[in-house]
């Protein structure tokens, strides 16, 4: 169990949480929620011991698993060893044992120490450590051939999966995961959900994936109103309960304020008259009817609405025998499909299966995406297609959200000026209105683009898409760096959008609620084209 007593954290005048006491008990799985900037990662660092609270205490178990945020800390180590390091007591014992074995001669003291170390290795399941670590890596789609490689040889997404396996290794009594689904494909996310649902310790997870939270959580610890309130149930249960509690308090306050107003009026009218005893009685009642003070919520909800300047033709896209290879490595094999106006297509499959490659092929042949933008965001080399054709239909106007979306925004300007350049005929108030919709206060329009956070860069790109009003949206991992409120706003906006959508995402709910068609990238480099919702696709692909 993890226990938090009277913990407070603030930065300057901003209070994250004040005098919080709570406990995370064995066998329960907690989602730690709250908008960006509410203090989720700060609170997680308090739980891991990476930060000390400014006030209060945190008590944690001896065996604690945590997802490392430093992707480069283990670059010199083998992948399999990096996972085993998740059990610090075991790894220390194994290192010391190897050091003794490396000696040319043993002393009696060495022999006694070896016996002690072998006892620790046995207690910590060290004799099956490599097998256990390999099973975790396989579940997270790290091939057996990669287990002996150095961490420094892996790509970023692979490193994240190895570090996730490290946190899960060794049966920790408490498991703390900050955004564990980042860089995972849906198959890996589903595997992780199953694993965590079998976990019997205390789990605390930060995630912006609503479906993931609903699938694993028994409780939600929500950071808002300068405190942490724990709700029983899933994320959706918490939203309902939180809204009901807030509405109930506001209703009670309104009734109290009305009663206080009536009593105050009576006191003012008769305080100088003969009804002094009644006046005194009313004064006491006013004191009793104190209104419950409501702290301000940190939640901010953006307003996303995608329009189109003009509709496209009915047949918006034709792909004829599309193929792509990198040297001798085949990625996409002879894919043919026709797309009609208004379809919303989710591109799905394992990481590295070719989803972004197909997106790049679409964009490289589009009538409205500049080549310079492709070079910044995707390493465009002018030859995204090695076979077949990409044919865009009449009046196609494409808007693009790149996976590396920060690279889409040039440095050396302000957020306001960067956005305004895309439509110089737009008034200053229209530009500021769009920025305001996406939670940029007026003064943040002057913020330099090079210092924008990942979330701010994503919201600025959505401003661009709302300004340009294209009739085709190509979105490659648009939910990265967005909080739950922003993802929900995007979900609703895409459902209501009358144009055509190509969506690469690992967000289950976004795909389930938006997509009308699935392009699933298979292991043999072919693409399955399923016309229907994701739920229907799952039913027929089992």
In a domain, 215, yes or no: no
The pLDDT value given to residue 481: 82
In the predicted model, what is the mean pLDDT of residues 116-120? 93
Q: Say what percent of the chain tops pLDDT 70.
A: 92
In a domain, 153, yes or no: yes
Task: Look at residues 195, 185, 241, 237 and name the one whose alpha carbon lies nearest to residue 216.
Answer: 195
| Distance between CA atoms of residues 73 and 152, nearest Å | 9
The pLDDT value given to residue 46: 93
pLDDT of 227-249, one tens digit each?
898 999 999 999 888 877 766 66
In a domain, 116, yes or no: yes
Q: What's the CATH number where 461 sits?
A: 3.40.50.300
The pLDDT value given to residue 166: 92
In the predicted model, what is the mean pLDDT of residues 158-183? 88
The pLDDT value given to residue 435: 95
The pLDDT value given to residue 404: 80
In a domain, 375, yes or no: yes
Residue 291 has pLDDT above 60, yes or no: no
Using the 3D structure, point to which of 113, 139, 161 is the last residue of a domain. Answer: 161
In the predicted model, what is the mean pLDDT of residues 421-447? 93
| Distance between CA atoms of residues 480 and 447, nearest Å | 21
Task: Give the 3-state DSSP-derived string for 31-62, with helices as H, strands as E and coil as C.
Answer: EEECCCCCCHHHHHHHHHCCCCCCEEEEECCC
Residue 297 has pLDDT above 70, yes or no: no
| Distance between CA atoms of residues 340 and 349, nearest Å | 23
| Distance between CA atoms of residues 197 and 410, nearest Å | 43
Give the pair of three-digit tokens for residue 123: 């207690």
Least confident of 13-22, 133-142, 217-226, 271-280: 271-280
Overall size of the chain counted in residues: 542
The pLDDT value given to residue 212: 95
The pLDDT value given to residue 135: 92
The pLDDT value given to residue 247: 67
Strand partners, 229: 222
Q: pTM here?
A: 0.78
pLDDT of 484-541, one tens digit each?
889 999 999 999 999 999 999 999 999 999 999 999 999 888 999 999 999 999 888 7
The C-alpha angle with vertex 331 and arms to 329 and 334, in degrees rounded to 5, equals 115
Q: How many distinct structural domains can be found in the chain?
A: 2
In a domain, 416, yes or no: yes
In the predicted model, what is the mean pLDDT of residues 406-420? 91
The pLDDT value given to residue 330: 87
In a domain, 30, yes or no: no
Range of 131's domain? 77-161
Which helix (DSSP H) or strand (DSSP E) does residue 366 occupy?
none
In the predicted model, what is the mean pLDDT of residues 416-433? 95
Using the 3D structure, point to which of 129, 161, 193 is the last residue of a domain. Answer: 161
In a domain, 58, yes or no: no
| Distance between CA atoms of residues 34 and 207, nearest Å | 10
Q: How confident is the model at residue 296 (pLDDT cuts 50, 70, 90)?
A: low
The pLDDT value given to residue 381: 54
Give the pair of three-digit tokens for residue 271: 């305080």
Residue 156 has pLDDT above 90, yes or no: no
Helices (H), ranges, 379-427: 415-420
Using the 3D structure, point to which of 161, 192, 211 is the last residue of a domain. Answer: 161
In a domain, 362, yes or no: yes
The pLDDT value given to residue 251: 67
């Amino acid at each position: 169990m993890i226990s938090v007593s009277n913990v407070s954290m603030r930065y300057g005048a901003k209070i994250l949480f004040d005098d919080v006491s709570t406990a995370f008990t064995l066998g329960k799985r907690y989602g730690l929620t709250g908008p960006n900037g509410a203090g989720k990662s700060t609170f997680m660092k308090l739980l891991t011991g990476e930060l000390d609270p400014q006030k209060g205490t945190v008590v944690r178990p001896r065996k604690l698993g945590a997802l490392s945020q430093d992707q480069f800390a283990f670059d010199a180590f083998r992948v399999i060893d990096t996972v085993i390091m998740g059990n610090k007591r075991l790894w220390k014992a194994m290192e010391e044992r190897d050091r003794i074995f490396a000696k040319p001669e043993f002393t009696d003291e060495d022999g006694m120490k070896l016996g002690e170390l072998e006892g620790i290795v046995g207690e910590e399941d060290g004799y099956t450590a490599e097998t256990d670590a390999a099973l975790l890596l396989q579940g997270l789609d790290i091939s057996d051939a990669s287990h002996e490689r150095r961490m420094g040889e892996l790509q970023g997404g692979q490193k994240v999966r190895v570090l996730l396996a490290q946190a899960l290794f060794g049966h920790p009594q408490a498991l703390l995961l900050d955004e564990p689904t980042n860089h995972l494909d849906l198959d890996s996310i589903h595997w992780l959900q199953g694993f965590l649902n079998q976990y019997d310790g205390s789990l605390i997870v930060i995630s912006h994936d609503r479906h993931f939270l609903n699938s694993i959580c028994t409780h939600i610890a929500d950071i808002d109103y300068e405190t942490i309130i724990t709700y029983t149930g899933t994320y959706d249960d918490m939203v309902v309960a939180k809204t009901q509690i807030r509405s109930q308090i506001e209703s009670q306050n309104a009734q109290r304020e009305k009663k206080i107003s009536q009593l105050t009026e009576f006191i003012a009218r008769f305080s100088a008259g003969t009804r002094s005893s009644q006046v005194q009685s009313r004064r006491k009642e006013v004191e009793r009817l104190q209104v419950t003070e409501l702290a301000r919520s940190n939640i901010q909800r953006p307003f996303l609405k995608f329009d189109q300047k003009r509709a496209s033709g009915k047949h918006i896209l034709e792909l004829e025998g599309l193929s792509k290879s990198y040297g001798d490595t085949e990625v996409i094999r002879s894919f043919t499909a026709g797309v009609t106006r208004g379809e919303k297509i989710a591109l799905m499959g394992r990481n590295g299966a070719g989803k972004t490659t197909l997106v790049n092929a679409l964009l490289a042949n589009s009538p409205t995406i500049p080549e310079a933008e492709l070079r910044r965001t995707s390493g465009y080399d002018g030859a995204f297609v090695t076979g077949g054709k990409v044919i865009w239909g009449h009046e196609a106007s494409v808007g693009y959200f790149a996976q590396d979306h920060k690279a889409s925004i040039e440095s050396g300007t302000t957020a306001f000026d960067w956005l305004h350049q895309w439509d110089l005929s737009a008034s200053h108030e229209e530009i500021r209105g769009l920025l305001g919709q996406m939670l940029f206060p007026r003064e943040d329009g002057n913020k330099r683009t090079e210092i924008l956070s990942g979330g701010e860069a994503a919201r600025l790109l959505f401003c661009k898409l709302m300004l340009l009003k294209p009739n085709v949206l190509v979105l490659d991992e648009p939910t990265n760096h967005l909080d739950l409120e922003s993802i929900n706003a995007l979900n609703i906006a895409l459902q209501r959008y009358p144009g055509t959508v190509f969506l690469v995402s690992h967000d289950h709910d976004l795909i389930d609620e938006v997509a009308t068609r699935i392009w699933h990238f298979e292991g043999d480099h072919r693409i399955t084209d399923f016309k229907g919702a994701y739920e229907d696709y799952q039913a027929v692909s089992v």
